[in-house]
């Protein structure tokens, strides 16, 4: 656990004390201290993972909500135009009705034609009558069309507003879920002694080291390939963010969540990619681990709730979790789902020099979220 986490936990300890009764008694001594630490680590990582899943739901809903708000505003403008046009058509229809009532409509003109003495004048009058009749029909048609359009736009506007409100409620729920999980993490950490926290950090690092050793021994990774020009730019952007704090729902420039970092890195390279880790996994072309090149995105956990950008040499740059900072970690620090490539059409560079890493680039926790399955509720919501 990083020093920043411990400082924030200490500051929040008094506020979190009331929540401790609802948290499993993590600090209670067990017959096997290692088993107790393993249980606590699993609980903590599960909470972290649930917070990340809620954060990615928040991000996805934010994208939908932005689009829905734009659509609601567009329909509102169209409805205002339709109502103005309808008002003008009603005014014209009222004017025609008044003329007819006063005997000045095309009907009275027709009577004048019948009584005309000059044939030439009669023909001119006939032409005028035809034009007047056509004008009246056009006004009536505009009135009917305008009324139908206004009614349709009004219904669409109401539906769009309802969808906007539904998305806003979903976003609020995701925010509350993430906040609740993080408060539970704070409460659990506040209940641990410094010795227990140090033991958790050592246990976590041991698990990362073992997973990385197994990955390398399996031969799943090949020698590094050079990135494309865009991939190099995306990776250099990510490296420049090292040391900035993780904060769910953010995409820079002062803080990032995992997919906020990867999406902004590729945006800086001139290529827009989906915002969330799930969308990145679903929509971008997949590549095998043996074909990884710097700049590719590595996705983790069965629900694709965590993502990193490949650095090369079996390492990634990512925003691990709340309380941590953007850093360099082993590729296998979290359970691998697969990898995707934002620029499958790009040509690899003929020469490539990896970016220079700042001091302390590998400091802090590597793991994002536990490989253990979360409770059913979290599993359901993370898949949405």
Q: What is the DSSP secondary-structure string of 55-122?
A: HHHHHHHHHHHHHHHHHHHHHHHHHHHHHHHHHHHHHHHHHHHHHHHTT-SHHHHHHHHHH-S-HHHH
**Averaged pLDDT, 178-183:** 76
Q: Could you tell me which residue, 336 or 86, shows the higher pLDDT?
A: 336
Band of residue 64 on the pLDDT scale cut at 50, 70, 90: confident
| 252 φ, ψ (degrees, to nearest 5) | 90, 180
14-28, 104-118, 228-242, 246-260: which has the minimum mean pLDDT? 14-28
Rounded to the nearest integer, the mean pLDDT of the chain is: 75
Q: Tell me the pLDDT tens digit for each residue of 23-43.
A: 344 444 444 556 777 777 777
The conformational region for residue 252 under phi > 0 = left, psi -120 to 50 = alpha, else beta, is left
Give 285's pLDDT tier (boundaries 50, 70, 90). very high
Domain boundaries, the chain: 53-180, 220-357
Contact 174, 54 (CB under 8 A): yes
Distance, in Å, from the CA atom of 144 to the CA atom of 92, rounded to the nearest integer, reads 13
Domain 220-357 in the same topology as domain 53-180: no
Which tens digits make up the pLDDT trace of 309-347? 999 999 999 999 888 899 999 999 988 999 999 999 999
Q: Please indicate whether residue 37 or residue 161 has the higher confidence score (pLDDT).
A: 161
2.40.50, 1.10.260, 1.10.10, 1.10.287: which CATH number matches 53-180? 1.10.287
Question: Do 185 and 24 contact (CB within 8 A), yes or no?
Answer: no
Choosing among 3.40.50.720, 3.40.50.1980, 3.90.1720.10, 3.10.20.600, the CATH entry for 220-357 is 3.90.1720.10
Q: Please tell me the distance from the alpha carbon of residue 363 to that of residue 354, in angstroms, as a whole number.
A: 19
What separation in angstroms does the CA of 67 have from each of 171, 191, 262, 371?
Answer: 14, 43, 21, 34
Residues 6 or more apart in contact with residue 236 via CB below 8 angstroms: 355
Phi, psi torsion values for 297, nearest 5 degrees: -105, 135
Mean pLDDT highest for which of 11-20, 187-196, 315-324?
315-324
């Amino acid at each position: 656990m990083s020093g920043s986490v411990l400082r924030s936990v200490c500051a929040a300890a008094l506020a979190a004390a009331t929540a401790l009764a609802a948290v499993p008694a993590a600090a209670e001594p067990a017959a096997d201290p290692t088993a107790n630490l393993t249980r606590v680590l699993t609980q903590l990582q599960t909470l972290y993972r649930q917070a990340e899943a809620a954060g990615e739901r928040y991000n996805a809903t934010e994208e939908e909500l932005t689009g829905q708000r734009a659509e609601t505003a567009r329909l509102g403008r169209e409805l205002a135009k339709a109502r103005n046009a309808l008002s003008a058509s009603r005014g014209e229809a009222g004017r025609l009705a008044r003329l007819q009532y006063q005997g000045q409509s095309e009907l009275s003109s027709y009577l004048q034609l019948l009584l005309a003495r000059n044939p030439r004048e009669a023909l001119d009058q006939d032409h005028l009558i035809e034009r007047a009749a056509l004008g009246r029909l056009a006004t009536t048609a505009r009135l009917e069309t305008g009324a139908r359009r206004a009614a349709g736009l009004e219904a669409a506007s109401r539906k769009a507003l309802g969808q906007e409100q539904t998305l806003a409620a979903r976003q609020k729920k995701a925010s509350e879920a993430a906040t609740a999980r993080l408060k539970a993490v704070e409460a659990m950490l506040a209940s641990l002694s410094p010795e227990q926290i140090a033991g958790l950090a050592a246990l976590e690092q041991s698990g990362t080291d073992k997973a990385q050793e197994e990955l390398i021994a399996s031969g799943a990774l090949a020698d590094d390939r050079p990135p494309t020009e865009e991939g190099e730019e995306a990776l250099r952007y990510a490296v420049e963010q090292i040391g900035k704090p993780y904060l769910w729902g953010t995409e820079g420039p002062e803080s990032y969540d995992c997919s906020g970092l990867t999406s902004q890195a590729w945006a800086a390279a001139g290529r827009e990619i989906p915002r969330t880790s799930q969308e990145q996994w679903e929509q971008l072309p997949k590549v095998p681990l043996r074909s990884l090149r710097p700049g590719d995105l590595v996705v983790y956990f069965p629900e694709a709730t965590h993502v990193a950008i490949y650095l090369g040499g079996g390492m990634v740059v990512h925003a691990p979790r709340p309380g941590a900072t953007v850093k360099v970690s082993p590729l296998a620090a979290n359970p691998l789902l697969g990898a995707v490539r934002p620029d499958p059409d790009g040509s690899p560079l003929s020469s490539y020099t990896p970016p220079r890493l700042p001091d302390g680039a590998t400091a802090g926790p590597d793991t994002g979220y536990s490989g253990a399955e979360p409770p059913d509720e979290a599993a359901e919501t993370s898949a949405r």
